[in-house]
Amino acid sequence: MVKTPVYTTIDANEAAARVAYLANEVVAIYPITPASAMGEWADEWAANGKPNLWGTVPQVIEMQSEGGAAGAIHGALQAGALATTFTASQGLLLMIPNMYKIAGELTPTVFHIAARSIAAQALSIYGDHSDVMTARVTGWVLLASASVQEAQDFAAIAHAATLEARVPFLHFFDGFRTSHEVSKLAILEEDDLRAMLDAGLIAQHRARSLSPDHPVVRGTAQNPDVYFQARETVNPYYDACPEIIERAMNRFAELTGRAYKPYEYVGAPDAERVIVLMGSGCEAAHETVDYLTAQGEKVGVLKVRLYRPFDMRRFIQALPATTRVLGVLDRTKEPGSTGEPLYLDTVTAIVEEWTEGPAPVVVGGRYGLSSKDFTPGMIKAVFDNLAQPKPKNHFTVGIIDDVSHTSLDVDPDFSVESDKVVRAIFYGLGADGTVGANKNSIKIIGENTENYAQGYFSYDSKKSGSMTVSYLRFGPKPIRSNYLISKANFVACHQPTFLEKYDVLQDIVDGGTFLLTMPYPADEVWDHLPRLVQEQIVKKHLRVYTIDAYSVAGEVGMGKRINTVMQTCFFAVSGVLPRDEAITEIKKSIEKTYGKKGEEIVERNLQAVDITLSHLHEVTVPTQVTSTIEMLPPVPADAPDFVRNVTGEMIARRGDLLPVSVLPADGTYPSGTTKYEKRNLALEIPVWDPEICIQCGKCAMVCPHAVIRIKAYDGAELVNAPETFKATDARDTEWKDMKYTIQVSPDDCTGCALCVDVCPAKSKTAANYKAINMNPQPPLREQENENWNFFVDLPEMDRRNIKISSIRQQQVQQPLFEFSGACSGCGETPYLKLISQLFGDRTLVANATGCSSIYGGNLPTTPWAYNAEGRGPAWSNSLFEDNAEFGLGMRVAVDKQAEFARELLGKLSGQVGGDLTEEILNADQSGEAGIHDQRDRVAALKTKLQAINSDEAKQLYDLADYLVRKDVWIVGGDGWAYDIGFGGLDHVLASGRNVNILVLDTEVYSNTGGQMSKSTPLAAVAKFAAGGKRANKKDLGMIAMSYGNVYVGRVAMGARDEHTLRTFLEAEAYDGPSIIIAYSHCIAHGINMTTALKNQKASVDTGAWILYRYNPMRAEQGENPLQLDSRAPKLPLTEYLRMENRFRMLELSKPEVARQLFAEAQENVRTQWALYEYLASRPVSIANGHA
Amino acid sequence: MVDITTTYLGKKLRSPLVVSACPLSEKVENIKRMEDAGAGAVVLYSLFEEQIRREREAMQHYLLYGTESFAEALTYFPEPEEYHAGTEDYLKLIADAKASVNIPVIASLNGASLGGWTKFARKMEEAGADALELNVYYIPTNMNMTGEEVENTYIDILHAVKSAVQIPVAMKLSPFFSNMAYMAKRLDMGGANSLVLFNRFYQPDIDIETREVTPNVILSTPQAMRLPLTWVGILYGHIQADLAATSGIHTPTDVIKMLMAGANVTMMASALLRSGIDHLRVVEQGVRQWMEEHEYESVDQMRGSVSQINAEDPSAFERTQYMRALKTFHPRIAY
């Protein structure tokens, strides 16, 4: 008998992971967006001792890559365990070799996939079917879920069916749209899941396992005589699959009442036009078909759940016999193919299996790549296309394709939203807690009322000051509208600054409710609204409510987190629930959410609820628009065309409307565009006091966003200086008679205050006043922008005249990495900026995927810049796992082309002149002056070459720039260097080639949310190490040193900045492989980012992070190549550990474990120091020499 | 054989040497060693309840910091199933200590405002504490707060805790009241079972190189005992509550002085941190030896013998002594 379902509100990642965890014994995990959360859940559950269906806690093991995870699962399955893993995108690609094996050996398992785009012209973390489609050739079952409910249910069906079918399953759902959608669903009871999994089949799986008690050989090598036949042995298993899956679905329906079919048709029984698709788009199509059929249209949708094996018979049987035309939609692209995969399968099925009457016409199209919203309007456009006498084939929908003219026209106003559904949009800042509050509201409504609830959240690509948009729906029926809301009846704006930047009211309906927080009394709010906002309020007859949420939050000590305040307001004015009931539920929810975290946190939130309503006011809306405040342009009017027409549109959230023609075809974008995106995030900015400043340069050096700049220049330049522009005499004796300025860009600063923390110059009369101090930004903004603009135009100092070994001089070098989207106070970016200053004009950068590739290369704007001569770092990101090899390839290419150029120059010596040839070939390019002179010579050479009419002269002309020295910097995080890319990194180190490797060591996978890497220190709590890491940090430097000919440096800028600078200079100067391991504090450490340099210092002072340089050149001179650059540990390790919540958390969650691991960590510090001390002091005769 | 037993907080102690709140009592084995070395009772290290609360809030702040902002990293930490607030460990320590020693175990609660005192006091009682010592760690810096308001804070805390527990309650005080005697009387009348004189406030230092205020804790010096000595001597015989002397007690002589001034018990921490727990044996031996040499039979006999009410010159406890002291002080340099 079917039980009454119990409902919960969770996302698909959690729903699928729960089933997978319950149904397995071994879980191999590795982080990748958007599937990371599935592994995180599994790890957390295991750490908390949650058992699986059979009462035992699964073994959850993090691997070094998805390839590793697949290998581990292959082994676990061979050894008889029930095993699973989760992944997406590039991760799935890495699993493919093992997937062939697992399928070839007829092994039951399920991999759960949050389907995501594959990196092509660019990486994208968002959802489509590009990844799973690459796996359709592996022999796995492909089962597609379309909703959160299905993600749970199909996970169970897959685990049940694979045991019988012996064919492995890829269960997938759309990344973000489904994986991250929070939805009300009927939860699958453990008993029902247990009933799905046949104990006899599990026993058979174990019986087939490798065991010395009944040994067999599996994984042989076969020859031409039998491989082919053996490959054909599996056909009956694939033939049986659809039947098995159908049975599993039927069994599931008996247990739960939720019925599914491998191919499920919805729509008019006599439909003529039918759309075929799979994944989340099915839900929107279902909803649209319901709407259109209600209007008498003969349309339908065929939802493909079972994509492989593709059962043509069942597929055709599911279609109405009246079908005249099929529109097959693929959420993937296969350039050069005759059509996308589902389309081709449909064509084949029609040809092979359509038996009744004339076969329908089949057209195919692409939609929804990279989570491009897929709306009823688009679905209607497809149906309209199908109604054409000659429907467009190989079309696209959802974009404007003005190049190949594939796109269908879409009516943007077409909507099928029900009036019974409350539709709300919230614009918030990441830091204000808006998303968390909304997730909470969904829970309140979903779990305490009869209503269904849905939440979807979009984030921007910057890590600091990012905007979040929450889309919430509540209604009496299950919600299939899995697309963004375009007809909102409630809009909330949690940040007043958004009003001038974005059209937040464009999606609100007539008579809707608008809630906004403004720091003004209700009767003054109207006068502070931009004209566009006022116009829409009047035109759409909106009701407007306002609250000064920051004041209310401040009053109860909640700082900038206005989540509870705004959540209370939402319930108060939206009418989703009766007000009193809503307040009671919010309070209950607060107690539930924060109860274990401490009563004071509960009290604070409860207090916020209590005082909010008295601060919430309705704004009296005049009948006339009065404002003269205009919307700000996304980029300055004088920006280059591309930036204005393309980049600016993306910034303004209008990127969806950009046509194909304006986008580069090969993924190539202009450098240095962050300077056009003035984000104006900082509430406070640093202000320089030249009287106190000792001109040490440290503030500029640590500035993560390159917003503090230094210039030394001729005083004559000050003639037209703005009135408030500050300048003083340069103190450096070599800059005698020059003027000196430290300038801040107020619109680019994120207000992290690291500069103030590092500033060593204090006022003689008040120790809390430094040479640089944080001051409120608004009153300074206009003046400092003027000063900044003047400053930028001051001449850069000739690089030849800068002593780069001293920070105070070096910091006048122009940063060519600026205003990135990294977190405020980021610990990585100062190192990258340093590279850009020292070597940027001659550097190629190979950047591993991770934080640095995201803040370094995520559109709309990118930070790698160029100087006045047009030179700057040339940057690229290949993959996560291959970055060292990618960089090595660059090095080899540069070297080869330089070699060829030298050969050609030798041949052309007679024509270009012997002296010039000799000078070029023998140039000393070890310093700035040498490089400068070489550039002049090459310019002269090119002039001469233009006059020579020969193929060789032309070839040399094209290659001549390679005669000037080029650097290759290979950069990435510890996830890359220690784990997924280690094999390649090791190979590159061993290559002996002149590459520079920078490891930005945050000791976790920062970009994907702080998962453990092999760099994570002992005792740290991280995701995938929820119970504290039990193994030591890998000593990557020691491994690199073992080659003997690799320059190795370990630095921590916050501990010893001069040492950092020296190490970078030495590493670059070393003619061979060099690697710098750089301590990078990180938001994922749970630290105060404002004073994070103190954490760096503590890590060095306690011996947790030893500073050293291993320079093979010293060995050549008879010296020990290893120099220790930090002193013996002088503080107990706990002084450092207790500064960071990654360690403190262990004390709070598992105090006994913490005590033991902290003691172990202290002992490790002692032994590691002793080892390094020994190595640095041993006689050079037994040291590794320069190979 | 001299009798060094004493009574404190309604219990008979084998010795007036009590270990005051300090990190040594974080481990049960140390508490056992204290008993073995002759301690009459032990005051456990202080539970800084408000600090724990602040830490919890900080933890919550950093758990949320940067979350729900960036699509790939919606959080940065796993969510622990439970948080040990820090108080569980303390309660376990009380229970463990009670199970392993026979001397009274006094729990110590440290804080500045009403907060969660009553809740934790009750839990400490339930865990088996023989008594509570409330260390009101309050430095008023608000210029608009009157002395009476400050004093009322102490009284309010005392009342709140007394109403929550049955076990005796000691008040550890600072000397910084405009009228210490009046304050002592109010606390006495308010039901305090003992006054512990005095706590040592955190007094930061300045690093002249970095020009930073440095929070280094310094251990007490023998000179520090003068203030408690003065007030034990003055209060003895005037209030019902027991008197415990603490600060600067390092030697047998110091103990004897305090007992003569009127203390029921003498508390030590710095001396044990410097010289080890076994220093208790040395002090006890010294006290016994002095008593024998001077034919004292018991601590009771000695207690209060040189308090203000029993001293030959009662005014010596007051300003006149100060004037005399100044007159006898000869600076070594000319001025």
Distance CA B226, CA B247 (A): 9
Q: Is pLDDT at A42 greater than 90 in this prediction?
A: yes
Distance of alpha carbon A1014 from alpha carbon B313, whole angstroms = 74
Q: What is the DSSP letter of A1079?
A: E
B48-81 pLDDT, tens digit each: 877 777 888 888 888 888 999 999 999 999 988 7
Q: Of A62, A84, A116, A679, which residue is the catalytic one?
A: A116
User: For the residues A573-581, what does the mean pLDDT come to?
Assistant: 90
Cβ–Cβ contacts within 10 Å for residue A991, how many? Answer: 17
pLDDT in tens, A921-945: 999 999 999 999 999 999 999 999 9
In 3-state terms, what secondary structure has residue A506?
coil
Q: What is the mean pLDDT of chain B?
A: 88
What whole-number percentage of chain B has pLDDT above 90? 61
N- to C-terminal Cα separation, chain A? 76
Cα-Cα-Cα-Cα dihedral sign, residues A984, A987, A993, A997: positive
Would an 8 Å CB–CB cutoff place A1099 in contact with chain B?
no
CA B49 to chain centre: 16
Let me know if residue A853 belongs to a domain: no
The phi and psi torsions of B261 (rounded to 5 degrees) equal -70, -25
Q: Which pLDDT value is given to residue A594?
A: 83
Encode burial over A326-344: b for 16+ CB neighbours within 10 A, e otherwise.
bbbbbbbbbeeeebbbbbb
pLDDT of residue B333 exceeding 60: no
Read off the pLDDT of residues A218-263 as tens digits, 9 standing for 90 and up. 999 999 999 999 999 999 999 999 999 999 999 999 999 999 999 9
Give the Cα separation of A251 and B91 in Å (integer): 53
Residue length of chain B: 335
Among B56, B66, B80, the residue with its CB nearest the CB of A1083 is B66
Confirm whether A709 is a catalytic residue: no
**Is A814 strand, coil or helix?**
coil
> Do A180 and A289 sit in the same domain of this protein?
no
Judge whether A666 lies within some domain.
no
One domain for residues A144 and A242 = yes
Q: Which of A1011, A1053, A1016, A1028 is nearest to A1143 (CA)?
A: A1028
What is the number of structural domains in chain A?
Answer: 5
Pairing between β-strand A1047-1051 and β-strand A1108-1110 as defined by DSSP bridges? antiparallel
Q: What CATH number is associated with residue A144?
A: 3.40.50.970
Q: How far apart are CA A938 and CA A957, in angstroms?
A: 9
Range ranked top by mean pLDDT from A2-6, A685-689, B227-231: A685-689
Name every residue whose Cβ is closer than 8 Å to that of residue A113 and which is 6 or more positions away in sequence.
Answer: A35, A86, A87, A88, A92, A131, A132, A170, A171, A172, A173
Q: Which residues contact A551 (CB under 8 A, 6 or more apart)?
A: A519, A615
In the structure, what pLDDT confidence band is assigned to residue A93 with cuts at 50, 70 and 90?
Answer: very high
pLDDT at residue number B221 = 79
Distance between CA atoms of residues A648 and A639, nearest Å? 9
CA distance B83 to chain A (A): 5
Residue A1181 has a pLDDT of 63
CB A494 within 8 A of CB A469: no
Question: What is the extent of the structural domain holding A336?
Answer: 261-397
Domain edge (last residue) among A938, A963, A988? A963
A550 with A525, same domain: the answer is: yes
Chain B: give the shortest CA distance to residue A353, in Å: 44
**Centroid of chain to Cα A609:** 34
Confidence of residue A430 (pLDDT cuts 50, 70, 90): confident
- Give me the percent of chain A exceeding a pLDDT of 90: 93
Please report whether residue A868 resides in a domain: no
pLDDT at B324: 52
Residues A74, A176, single domain; the answer is yes
Query: Above 0.95 for ipTM, yes or no?
Result: no
Structure tokens, A1129:
């540990």
Query: Are A1054 and A1096 a contacting pair, CB within 8 Å?
Result: yes
Cα distance from A470 to chain B (closest Cα, Å)?
A: 11
Which residues of chain A have a CB within 8 Å of the CB of B55? 1144
Task: Answer whether residue A1185 shows pLDDT above 80.
Answer: no
Greater pLDDT, A163 or B26: A163
Sheet holding A169-174, edge to edge: A59-62, A26-29, A83-87, A110-115, A169-174, A141-144, A306-308
* Euclidean distance between CA atoms A1088 and A1076, whole angstroms: 25
Angle formed by the axes of helices A883-907 and A982-991, nearest 10°: 30
DSSP A23: T
A12 and A112 in a single domain? The answer is yes
> Is residue A539 a part of any domain in this protein?
yes
Sign of CA dihedral A587, A593, A596, A599: negative
A838 domain-assigned:
no
Question: Last residue of some domain: A598, A619, A640?
Answer: A619
pLDDT tens string A255-281:
999 999 999 999 999 999 999 999 999
For B162-213, the pLDDT digits (tens) are: 999 999 999 999 888 889 999 999 999 999 999 999 987 767 888 888 888 8
Q: In B143-211, where do the E strands start and end?
A: 169-173, 194-197, 205-207
Interchain CB distance below 8 Å, B66 and A823: yes
Are A1007 and B78 an interchain contact pair (Cβ–Cβ within 8 Å)? no
pLDDT beyond 80 at A85:
yes
β partners of residue A972: A999
Q: CA B298, CA A520: separation in Å to the nearest integer? A: 75
Q: Looking at the DSSP assignment, which residues form a beta bridge with residue A631?
A: none
Are the beta carbons of B72 and A594 separated by less than 8 Å? no
Domain contains A309: yes
Residues A383 and A355 in one domain: yes
Active site residue A620: no
The answer to whether A125 contacts B58, with C-beta atoms less than 8 Å apart, is no
Residues A147/A280, Cβ–Cβ less than 8 Å: yes
- Which pair of structure tokens corresponds to residue B313? 């010159």
Contact call for residues A170 and A147 (beta carbons, < 8 A): no
Residues A442 and A549 in one domain: yes
Q: Which amino acid is at A8?
A: T
Nearest to A259 by CA among A250, A268, A267: A250
| Whether A279 and A241 share a structural domain | no
d(CA A130, CA B81): 37
> What part of A 461-490 touches B (C-beta under 8 Å)?
462-463, 466, 468
Output the average pLDDT for chain A. 96
- Check whether residue A548 and residue A490 sit in a common domain: yes
Q: Looking at residue B223, what is its pLDDT? A: 80
Which helix or strand (DSSP H or E) is residue A263 part of? strand A263-267
pLDDT in tens, B259-283: 999 999 999 999 999 999 999 999 9
Cα–Cα dist A417/A486, whole Å:
9
Polymer length of chain A: 1187
Mean pLDDT calculated for residue range A359-363: 98
A267/A251 same-domain check: no
CA distance A1164 to A1033: 10
Distance separating alpha carbons of residues A284 and A299, to the nearest angstrom: 14
- Note if A922 is an active site residue: no
Q: Which of A462, A458, A400, A463 shows the shortest CA–CA distance to A127? A: A458
A1066 falls in which pLDDT band (50, 70, 90)?
very high
Contacting residues of A for B68, CB less than 8 Å apart: 430, 433-436, 457, 468
Is A116 catalytic? The answer is yes
Q: Residue B331: is its pLDDT beyond 50?
A: no
Torsion angles phi and psi, residue B101, rounded to 5: -130, 160
Judge whether A807 lies within some domain. Answer: no
> At A784, is the pLDDT very low, low, confident or very high (cuts 50, 70, 90)?
very high
Per-residue pLDDT of A387-402, as tens digits, reads 999 999 999 999 999 9
Please report the domains of chain B, with CATH numbers, ordered by start residue: 6-307 (3.20.20.70)
Indicate yes or no: CB of A1023 within 8 angstroms of CB of B77: yes
Compute the average pLDDT of residues A151-165.
Answer: 98
CATH number at residue A545: 3.40.920.10
Same-domain check for residues A1095 and A1110: yes
Per-position b or e across A960-979, b if 16+ CB within 10 A of its CB: bebbbbbbbbbbbbbbbbbb
> DSSP assignment of A184-212, as one string?
EEEPPPHHHHHHHS-HHHHHHHHHTS--T
Distance (Å, rounded) from C-alpha A1177 to C-alpha B6? 61
Counting residues of chain A whose pLDDT is more than 70, the rounded percentage is 99
Q: State the Cα–Cα distance between residues A18 and A300, nearest whole angstrom.
A: 33
Instruction: Please check whether residues A445 and A370 belong to one and the same domain.
Output: no
Q: Quote the CA–CA distance of A620 and A622 in Å, as a whole number.
A: 6
Cross-chain CB nearest to A43 (options B70, B78, B211): B78
Distance of CA A448 to the CA centre of its chain: 34
pLDDT at A676 over 60: yes
| Domain assignment present for A246 | yes
Is A1094 at the interface with chain B, CB within 8 A? no
Per-residue buried b or exposed e for B85-99, using 16+ beta carbons within 10 Å of the residue's own CB: bbbeebbebbbbbbe
What pLDDT, in 10s, does the model give residues A1007-1032?
A: 999 999 999 999 999 999 999 999 99
Q: What is the pLDDT of residues A860-906, one digit of tens each?
A: 999 999 999 999 999 999 999 999 999 999 999 999 999 999 999 99
- CATH number, domain containing residue A301: 3.40.50.920
Residue B321: pLDDT above 80? no
